[in-house]
Amino acid sequence: MSGLERIERNYELAKEMYAEHGIDTDAALEKLASIKVSMHCWQGDDVRGFLFPEEELGGGIAATGNHPGAARTPDELRSDLEKAFSMIPGKHKLNLHAIYADTREKVDLDELEPRHYQSWIDWAKEHGLGLDFNPTCFSHPKAADGFTLSHPDKAIREFWIRHCQASRRIGAEFGRQLGQPCVTNVWIPDGYKDLPADRLTPRLRLKEALDEVFAEPFDERHLLDAVESKLFGIGSEAYVVGSHEFYMGYALQKGKLICLDSGHFHPTETISNKLSALAIFARGILLHVSRPVRWDSDHVVTLDDELLEIARELVRGDLLGKTYIGLDFFDASINRVAAWVIGTRNTLKALLRAMLEPVEALKRAELAGDYTTRLALTEEFKSYPFGAVWDYYCLKQNVPVRETWLDEVKRYERDVQRKRG
């Protein structure tokens, strides 16, 4: 029996097992193929970007490791991205930060225009991808003291307002040219290392600045705005201006997407537990799927309990229609293409796993107070042949099945990445 025949045979057997519980694997795969994951560009070069490549990484962000082969130019980054996308089933999106402009002009952040990203738009069209966007409010001299949109100096504050306004125009142009909404997410590092004397005033400045940033209206078919909180960061351990409560209030009042990053909360908190609560009231949710190890370490996403719980919440609560899934991790200690492939495939695996669970039976048991059945079914389904369904999906999407992609990554590292110096 050939490898192809074995994959198809295993799928048919798995299909029968799931069908016994009323689970349609074909329908699950069709639904999975419709989901777009926004893969982040900054894994490919350790968050350096191309506008100010010599600027020290700021905003409390740290990429650790020295694996060879980081992209140094837009063309190298696009080559790496193409390699990664070729091993990931489905059609997805790329998430760009403003510092990844592809231009030879000397241009500052508040002077950026859509034309500085036209090569990215053309590339996305060629490969059938969408684009998301982020203003870069870090790694810049005007963010050196840890404040941007809430800065007490009006001139500096207005610089960052102009940058975020420019970023929204860029995002709207992405959406217009690509025919799908560009989610443009605002995150700032603003905060104090030690206890502040005044917590309120910086937040009032931030609210006023955000009102200016979002003043220009755009067609939501082209642009969706999101705001992102953080519990603490390096240099803002005691106080963060844009806390979760601040941005939750702002987003609910102003009709913006609320961004939940897996690593931006207390280590005992999980964003999976927040999704259903926010979904009732919020315009929509943006996820930054990451893996915090004791803090916001941005480790590569693994198929761990929290990732599975996030996927279960999205599937069981029927929240996929109002949730935008993005990735946010960067690891310089391993091959960067492999990091993308591992993290994105794991996110899709988690969603598929969630779709292949007996959700209705679990809900019925719960309503009847039959918690024994609820636990028993949950645990027994962990050993159902989900892997056979995933393998079949990869086969039909013309991407490598199981770990066979690793050989191609090793070859690409040897022939391309290690020759970059």
Q: Are residues 172 and 92 in the same domain?
A: yes
DSSP state of 369: T
Is 264 catalytic? The answer is: yes
Asked, for residue 3, whether it belongs to a domain, the answer is: yes
Same domain, 379 and 333: no
Instruction: Say if residue 300 is in the same domain as residue 190.
Output: yes
Q: What's the chain's Rg over C-alpha atoms?
A: 22
Out of 40, 151, 288, 299, pick the active-site residue: 288
- Tell me, yes or no, whether 82 and 21 share the same domain: no
Residues 203 and 84 in one domain: yes
pLDDT of residue 295: 85
What CATH number should be reported for the domain holding residue 260?
A: 3.20.20.150
Show which of 342, 368, 386 is a domain's final residue.
342
Q: Which domain holds residue 386?
A: 1-33+356-421
Check whether residue 25 and residue 40 sit in a common domain.
no
In a domain, residue 273? The reply is yes
Tokens encoding 5: 């025949």
For 242-249, which contacts have Cβ atoms below 8 Å and span 24 or more sequence positions? 242/150, 242/187, 242/188, 242/190, 242/206, 246/203, 246/206, 248/278
Residue 91's φ and ψ, nearest 5 degrees, are -110, 130
110 in active site: no
Do 326 and 366 sit in the same domain of this protein? no
Q: Are residues 281 and 144 in the same domain?
A: yes
The question of whether 26 is a catalytic residue gets the answer no
Which one from 45, 228, 391, 413 is the annotated catalytic residue?
228
Residue 328 designated active-site: yes
Among the listed residues 163, 264, 274, 349, the single catalytic one is 264
Domain check: are 307 and 329 in the same one? yes
- Decide if 303 contacts 297 (C-beta within 8 A): no
Contact 230, 261 (CB under 8 A): yes
Bridge partner list, 132: 95
Shared domain for 142 and 273, answered yes or no, is: yes
> CB of 147 within 8 A of CB of 242?
no
Let me know if residue 350 belongs to a domain: no
- 182 is a domain residue: yes
Cβ neighbours around 66 below 10 Å, total: 9
Evaluate whether 259 touches 244 at the Cβ level (below 8 Å).
Answer: no
∠ Cα 323 324 325 (to 5°): 115
For residue 135, report the phi and psi dihedrals to the nearest 5 degrees: -65, 150
For residue 170, the one-letter residue type is I
| The pair of three-digit structure tokens given for residue 311, joined into one six-digit string | 């996927």
Q: Mark which of 316, 342, 368 sits at the end of a domain.
A: 342
347 lies in a domain? no
Q: Determine the longest span between alpha carbons in the chain, in angstroms.
A: 72
Catalytic residue (one of 46, 80, 102, 296): 296
Q: Is there a single domain that holds both residue 22 and residue 100?
A: no
Q: Does one domain contain both 409 and 272?
A: no
- As a whole number of angstroms, the distance between CA 139 and CA 24 comes to 48
Q: Which of 102, 190, 225, 298 is catalytic?
A: 298
Please state, in angstroms and rounded to a whole number, the distance separating the CA atoms of residues 145 and 143.
6
Q: Are 83 and 141 in contact (CB under 8 A)?
A: no
- CA 351/CA 345 separation, integer angstroms: 10
φ, ψ of residue 201 to 5 degrees: the values are -60, -45
The domain boundary, picked from 342, 375, 405, lies at 342
In a domain, 174, yes or no: yes
318 is a catalytic site residue: no
Count of structural domains within the chain: 2
pLDDT at residue 61, rounded to an integer: 75
The encoded tokens of residue 147 equal: 């404040």
Encode the chain (421 residues) as per-residue pLDDT tens digits. Answer: 688 899 999 999 999 999 999 999 999 999 999 999 999 999 999 999 999 877 777 776 777 889 999 999 999 999 999 999 999 999 999 999 999 999 999 999 999 999 999 999 999 999 999 999 999 999 999 999 999 999 999 999 999 999 999 999 999 999 999 999 999 999 999 999 999 999 999 999 999 999 999 999 999 999 999 999 999 999 999 999 999 999 999 999 999 999 999 999 998 999 999 999 999 999 999 999 999 998 889 999 999 999 999 999 999 999 999 999 999 999 999 999 999 999 999 999 999 999 999 999 999 999 999 999 999 999 999 999 999 999 999 999 999 999 999 999 999 999 999 999 7
Active-site annotation holds for 228: yes
Show the CA angle centred on residue 157, arms to residues 166 and 48, nearest 5°: 60
Tell me the HSE value of 388 on the side-chain side, using a 13 A CA sphere. 19
Q: Tell me whether residue 114 is in a domain.
A: yes
